[in-house]
Structure 1
Amino acid sequence: LAAALVLLASFVTRFYKLWDPSEVVFDEVHFGKFASYYIRRTFFFDVHPPLAKMLIAAQGYLVGLNGDYLFDKIGESYIEHDIPYISLRSFLIAFDNGMVVQSRLILLDTFMMIFLLGAVFFYIRFYKARFQAFGVAWWTNLCLAGVFLGLVTSVKLVGLLTVGMIGIAVIMDLWRLLDVDRGLTMQQWSHHFAARALALIAIPIIIYMSTFYVHFAVLNRSGPGDRYMSPAFQGSLYNSPLHASSHEVRYHHNITLKHKSMDAYLHSHPHNYPLRYTSGRVSSQGRQVTGYSHKDVNNFWTVLPVGNDTEALANNKNIVRNGDTIRLLHTGTDSYLFAHDVASPLTATNMELTTAPRNDSDSKYEDTLWRLEIDRSSVNETHWTTSTSYIRLISVRHGVAIYCNPKKLPDWGFGQFEINGNKKTTQEANVWVAEEIEGVHGGNNTALVPKEPLPISFFRKFFELNKVMIERNAALTKPHPYQSNAISWPFVLRGVSYWTKNDEHKQIYFMGHPTGWWLAFIALLGLGALLTAQVLAQRRGVEPISPLVARHLERSGGFLLLGYLVHFVPFMVMGRALFLHHYLPALMFAYMGIGILFQYIFVE
């Protein structure tokens, strides 16, 4: 009867007036938009793995979502755009685990928490079947625990915390089995180890990678996520504007070189370095080579071949290829770019870059030679193209790469970025891209790169996307008015405004129930105190409670306390912006801790 009442109450609190509000709420602006992108098969970028987003999109497709509406901003009307939002929200509630606000909206957390609970549930069932090792129930629950670990990780990277929690429990279990008193041979123990590795490592990895395989298969068209990815990744998508507009770079082309990650063009002008810097060091007083943030005629450089046959060099219109040795002639000052053994203005450990006039460059010839290295993230790794080739230019004589320093030069350098020769040639700050060829604007030019997608391997796309996801997730440090510190979460000091409609005096405000959250936290503190007291009592040879009750407290209470700490403590050291809903996975373990504490005090 109690279970039926809880089920009924859960149903009512989650389905009551599900249609209200009929507007975009909080992160529905993101995940609704992503569902539309899936239906359009348009590539987008998000810091979370794809599984839950694909499930939302699949449900949307089944109930008539056509992908035309992009959930542009919070407060937009679903009714005006004919969006089946009630069906979308209902689907999520069917898999809800008890968090009312999160479960009523089109968000990822419901999927994450049900998969998390599934992983914990089946691991506990596996542990309870330990006396029938390698039996049907043992294998079934072990493999299902692995399946749910793969699912929770495929929804949010926070799922890795669940993997860590189960991993700690497995290590402790294997350590217990290693005890000679258990009577297992090393061969038998290795079978236990292999079974757990297969189910709890291999199966989750396969599931995680499979979700990305489907993700890439569906999102095969160029879209708003292109800009986060490498040229090679973009070139594998249909209708990629970057790929379609690229041209092969040939000798004697006048090009502009732009830094990969900074808004800076390789630039020179008829102004010299000062003889002496404020630090007391001296320069060559050669012409300045800088990084300039705007399009300018002084950004153009002519790509020239090397050799002794003047006539052959003049007629060489070949494509520039990976590994070629080239010279760069600055068109504005008619001088060659070179590096030499003089310290750069702001970075004493790097070499100064300057230019030598064409008619006086013979003595500097060896210094003006640059080796072209095309990065493997480019669309084509064999020949140089605009927009789609990431390149490094390495001085043949000195072995330094053209580097753009994020620091800017003083007034004598017009506040432009410092450019110098970097001895650490593999750094990302040495990467450039040819942006423009003078006089070439696409269209009918014969050098236009074919527009058909150039496939790259699944593993290359998989590792690149995951790398970018991790980097972008860590970079979410921009302050938000509703962000909060993890240490404040158990005390429910503030919530998050999800949606407001001032003219009707309506608001959705996410905030935990103080009584429940405080009680859960107190229960966790109580469990921690009891476990500590029990360990100390055992050390002193005292048994204040029966061994059976003590073992149950240690295993059940310890497991839940471990789950809480693993899903809570890491947020205390994260540098990214955090919100109250990040506490929900840890809160579930705290709520279960109330039950363990109640059972210990009033039952056992």
Structure 2
Amino acid sequence: MTIAAIFVRLYQIGIPDIPSSVEIQFASMINNYMTGEFFIDYNPPLAGLFFTALARFFGYNADSLDQLPIGVPHTLFPYCQLRIVSAFLGAISITFAYKTLRSTGVSHFISLFGSFLMIVENSMITEERMISADGIFIFFISLFLSNQKIAEVKDRFTTSWFIHLFIASLSLGLALSTHWIGVFIFSYAFVSLIIESWTLVEDINVSFKYVWANLIVKSLSYLTVSLTIYLALFKVHFDLLSKKGPDYNKLSPAFQHSLENNHLENIFSNVDFNARVMFRHYKSGKYLHSHEDYYRSSNHQQVTLMDNYDELNNIFKVIRVDDEFEALSASSILAPWRVRLKHESTNSSLVIDQDHKPPLSEQEYNFQVTTDHNFGDSDDNTKKYSFLLKMAINYCKADDARYALRALDSVFQIYNEEAGCYLLGTPLVLHEGFAEGQNEVICIQEPSYEASLWYIDWNDHPEYAPNKKRVAFDPFTFWQKLTEIHLYIFKKLYMGNGYTDETISSVSDLVLLKTGFIHWVDPVNHAVIYLLGNFIVYYMIVGSIGIYGIFKTCQLLTFNPFQASASLDSSNYKYDHKTLDYVILYFLLLIPLSFVKIDLYLFDYLPALFVGILVVTQLFQWGYEKATKITFVFMAFFSSLSFLAYVKFSPLIYGLQWTQEKCLKMIVSPDWDRGLCGAYPSSE
């Protein structure tokens, strides 16, 4: 079975001969590790560090970095070698799955049946042949489950028991360090431990001291070993990424300052009149930006939020309202103070247009933010350009920053008195002109408070002396970095952009296989690699979960507390207790997907799919004990169907030649991406 698993994963491993869309992300990650440029990923760093180490082993280094544009062959990047390692890990995970089943009382032939379902499961094959975190994650899950279940049937506190417990704790830490869903594997370890302890309590031959000792030793092992691995890998991650990189602008100023070549070295503390500044949005970390392009609705200059700090169009000048010729000498800006904000590169002043709505937020109480570059006559109304800086007292970082404008320390609202509204940055993304990909800025009368807060990130002044006071930064510690990155990821995963956005696919779409994922399309050579699961296996999992639900319902409805224990059905008891463990893990891996605000794809379901196949085998083991012959008939029937589905859809796994007619005939769900069949030639 292991050899068969290796074969189906290594077959045509060189196709495609360029990195796929997902592999490009890992290649960029590897490049960043080698150059030390900081980046943020939703997943913990183990997979990236693992593939980086492998890439170095295969001769890839900073001197041979590929820029890795999509669709171009990469002669230096060892993508094929990395795929081979990933494929081997995927094949070995099936061996550990077999050991897991055997240690939970499943017979040899039923365990082989479960292993066979994993071998021919199309989506597992496709993903494990790629450079991705999912194959590694499944490998560590299988390693953890096998050693956890073996430890449960070993004599406790023996040498063999301690070895399996240590390997289980080690693999639990590695799983936790590989994927953001790993925290739910970590949670399951303790839920499973509680279930095990409850089972031991039911045994009158086991003392309470023995139960408590087992619970404490396992808990300490899981906690100490797993968290040590997790923290150590993040320490390596932060130590390697010491320079500013692609996600530099998503970091706080203190984090940015801890990186090499940052833009905050020796910035001035005091912000005086006529200073050149960059306003940074408190909630998103993006910069107030304008450029010489125009809204379609009003033909006025666009004002947006932009990621990049090193953009001249982010620079505004803070001017006193009554300083017509900008001739006053530098003096402190005390709060609250009325100012005019001049956009330096376009020589225009920030203004609120009450006659037009923002391009995306078109409610009655929203106004368009623009400049007077193409706005009309501005001589008759200075209030139009007057903004009041209202300090957010509870957000300012120092006492003096509450009363005088200080770089980084002062946090404030920008209020336009004439329109009676506050400048606010939204998470809505513009899709027009040169503002494409930038966020909308509006002026709103009743804003969400944090979304209306700003601070000054950078400043300069022509009259500043060299000895002018600079902003002092405290050392940014490992724990501060760890906390900031985890808060950022948590907000992105579970809070999104502040709006109620729907993900591309729902959890039901993944479970019922209504959607796939295009890894690679080559219309010239008529080949496609499309992540699409074996629908026979997918629906077997749904059916098995449903049958267990019916079983538990009937069990509860017919429960008799006075029934003698000797009359209990042992096969029912084993099916109930062994399956419950896997069902809990299945839903712990599945439920989080219902709450995340990121886009979901089929590969997000694969860890739950792996566990779901274990649930299927427990059902067949129960059937084997109840009706052996009919169970073997069902096993043969579903094995044949699963193998047939694997063969029929194999061109999508391996990027093989196919015809458009055969492709359309097999894409039976209207939700699958039928457009991929256009890459195949028609036989007509």
Amino acid at match of 1:591: I
Amino acid at match of 2:181: V
Partner of 1:559: 581
Q: 1:445 and 1:193 mapped to 2: Cα distance?
A: 64
Shift of 1:456: 1.3
Q: 1:222 and 1:551 mapped to 2: Cα distance?
A: 58
Shift of 1:85: 1.6
Q: 2:571 and 2:488 mapped to 1: Cα distance?
A: 49
Partner of 1:18: 13
Partner of 1:87: 81
2:102 is the counterpart of 1:76: no
Shift of 1:175: 4.0
Partner of 1:361: none
Partner of 1:410: none
Shift of 1:174: 3.5
Secondary structure of 1:500's partner?
strand
Structure with higher RCO (Cα < 8 A, 6+ apart): 2
Correspondence list, 1:306-317, <5 A: none
Q: Deviations over 1:542-578 (max 9, x none)?
A: 9898643233212222222222222223323444321
Classify 1:18/1:252 alpha carbon distance in 2 versus 1 (closer, same or farther; 3 Å).
same
Secondary structure of 1:49's partner?
coil
Partner of 1:212: 234
Partner of 1:142: 165
Match of 1:117 among 121, 142, 154: 142
Secondary structure of 2:518's partner?
strand
Secondary structure of 1:94's partner?
helix
Amino acid at match of 1:439: P
Correspondence list, 1:183-194, <5 A: 184-185=207-208, 190-194=212-216
Match of 1:463 among 444, 468, 483: 483
Q: 2:390 and 2:496 mapped to 1: Cα distance?
A: 41
Shift of 1:39: 1.1
Partner of 2:520: 499
2:188 is the counterpart of 1:165: yes
Q: 1:73 and 1:14 mapped to 2: Cα distance?
A: 26
Partner of 2:318: 300
Identity %: 18
Amino acid at match of 2:25: H
Correspondence list, 1:506-585, <5 A: 506-539=527-560, 541=563, 547-585=569-607
Q: 1:482 and 1:502 mapped to 2: Cα distance?
A: 28
Q: Deviations over 1:373-405 (max 9, x none)?
A: 88669xx99x9875xx2532599xxxxxx9744
Q: Is the 8 A contact 2:270 2:469 kept in 1?
A: no
Alignment: residue pair count: 501
Classify 1:496/1:369 alpha carbon distance in 2 versus 1 (closer, same or farther; 3 Å).
closer
Q: Deviations over 1:98-125 (max 9, x none)?
A: 5211111111111111111122222212
Partner of 2:58: 63
Correspondence list, 1:122-521, <5 A: 122-129=147-154, 132-177=155-200, 181=204, 184-185=207-208, 190-240=212-262, 242-244=263-265, 246-249=267-270, 254-256=275-277, 258=279, 259-261=281-283, 299-301=317-319, 328=337, 330=339, 386=407, 389-393=408-412, 404-405=423-424, 417-418=443-444, 427=450, 429-439=452-462, 455-474=475-494, 483-521=504-542
Q: Which moved more, 1:533-542 or 1:565-574?
A: 533-542
Shift of 1:45: 1.5
Shift of 1:206: 1.9
Classify 1:211/1:122 alpha carbon distance in 2 versus 1 (closer, same or farther; 3 Å).
same
Q: 1:369 and 1:33 mapped to 2: Cα distance?
A: 42
Shift of 1:419: 8.0
Classify 1:536/1:118 alpha carbon distance in 2 versus 1 (closer, same or farther; 3 Å).
farther
Classify 1:91/1:328 alpha carbon distance in 2 versus 1 (closer, same or farther; 3 Å).
same
Secondary structure of 2:521's partner?
strand
Q: Deviations over 1:11-47 (max 9, x none)?
A: 2211122112111212111111101111111111111
Q: Deviations over 1:507-539 (max 9, x none)?
A: 101101122222233233333333444454443
2:66 is the counterpart of 1:45: no
Shift of 1:94: 2.3
Shift of 1:222: 1.3
2:22 is the counterpart of 1:27: yes
Classify 1:91/1:419 alpha carbon distance in 2 versus 1 (closer, same or farther; 3 Å).
same
Q: Is the 8 A contact 2:39 2:246 kept in 1?
A: yes
Q: Deviations over 1:136-158 (max 9, x none)?
A: 33333333322222211111111
Q: Which moved more, 1:189-198 or 1:35-44?
A: 189-198
Classify 1:47/1:531 alpha carbon distance in 2 versus 1 (closer, same or farther; 3 Å).
same
TM-score by length of 1: 0.71
Shift of 1:217: 0.8
Q: 2:341 and 2:58 mapped to 1: Cα distance?
A: 61
TM-score by length of 2: 0.63
Q: 1:143 and 1:572 mapped to 2: Cα distance?
A: 33
Secondary structure of 2:524's partner?
helix
Shift of 1:48: 1.1
Q: 1:153 and 1:53 mapped to 2: Cα distance?
A: 14
Amino acid at match of 1:172: I
Classify 1:77/1:593 alpha carbon distance in 2 versus 1 (closer, same or farther; 3 Å).
same
Shift of 1:599: 2.0
Partner of 1:599: 621
Amino acid at match of 1:497: I
Classify 1:373/1:248 alpha carbon distance in 2 versus 1 (closer, same or farther; 3 Å).
farther
Classify 1:235/1:164 alpha carbon distance in 2 versus 1 (closer, same or farther; 3 Å).
same
Q: 1:536 and 1:544 mapped to 2: Cα distance?
A: 20
Q: Deviations over 1:158-210 (max 9, x none)?
A: 1122122222222233345566956645x665544432331223332222111
Structure 2 gap ranges (5+): 94-118, 291-301, 306-312, 322-327, 343-363, 367-387, 415-420, 427-440, 627-684
Q: 2:315 and 2:227 mapped to 1: Cα distance?
A: 52
Q: 2:133 and 2:549 mapped to 1: Cα distance?
A: 31
Q: 2:390 and 2:168 mapped to 1: Cα distance?
A: 59
Shift of 1:326: 6.0
Classify 1:77/1:316 alpha carbon distance in 2 versus 1 (closer, same or farther; 3 Å).
closer
Q: Is the 8 A contact 1:482 1:495 kept in 2?
A: no
Q: Is the 8 A contact 2:503 2:598 kept in 1?
A: no
Amino acid at match of 1:330: V
Q: 2:18 and 2:187 mapped to 1: Cα distance?
A: 38
Q: Deviations over 1:407-456 (max 9, x none)?
A: 9xxxxxxx96258999x7xx474341244334379xx95559699x9741
Q: 2:168 and 2:442 mapped to 1: Cα distance?
A: 56
Q: Is the 8 A contact 2:37 2:241 kept in 1?
A: yes
Q: 2:392 and 2:512 mapped to 1: Cα distance?
A: 60
Classify 1:110/1:171 alpha carbon distance in 2 versus 1 (closer, same or farther; 3 Å).
same
Structure 1 gap ranges (5+): 1-5, 268-290, 304-313, 334-344, 348-366, 396-401, 408-414
Q: Is the 8 A contact 1:265 1:299 kept in 2?
A: no
Shift of 1:247: 3.4
Q: 1:368 and 1:56 mapped to 2: Cα distance?
A: 49
Q: Which moved more, 1:432-441 or 1:546-555?
A: 432-441
